[in-house]
Amino acid sequence: MVRNLQLGTESNWNLQYSNSFPAVSFLNDKAGNPIYEKITEINVPIVFDQPIIAVNISTSVPVGRIWNYAGYLRRSLTTGLGATFTGELERLFLGKFNLIIFNDLNINYFVSIQVPKWFINANIAIYQYEGADSTTLEDDIQAIKTALGI
């Protein structure tokens, strides 16, 4: 069974969430440079209803540094027992659209993001895929019906 998606079509993606998070500076070190508090886990206040999202995270990278890691994404859903985390943590890469496909989830869910402790700001954009999402299963069933004369 093959899954048919049209990920390359821009109109199939809708921006669901976009926000910026600055780290709080609370002290200066001996050289007078600010010391920043770690950005806490970001709970995205949006309910996602499609199993495919793309997450982009950007930040200010100091001159001379190369950063690739942008933290991780965790998904959760609401059950009769309250919020429940599901699945593995999804690693995120900095400055890239991280494609995340939840194959085992057919209900609405939430996500949260934790950026690395050294980020002094984080810009987050999350897009939801709303294009065609089908499998060849329907074609296979029709072919079987045709072969059986049904």
What domains are there in the chain, each with its CATH number? 12-148 (2.60.120.1300)
CA distance 114 to 89: 10
- Tens digit of each residue's pLDDT (9 = 90 or more) over 88-146: 899 999 999 999 988 766 678 999 999 999 999 999 999 999 877 766 677 777 778 88
pTM of the model: 0.82
120: alpha, beta or left? (left if phi > 0; alpha if psi -120 to 50) = alpha
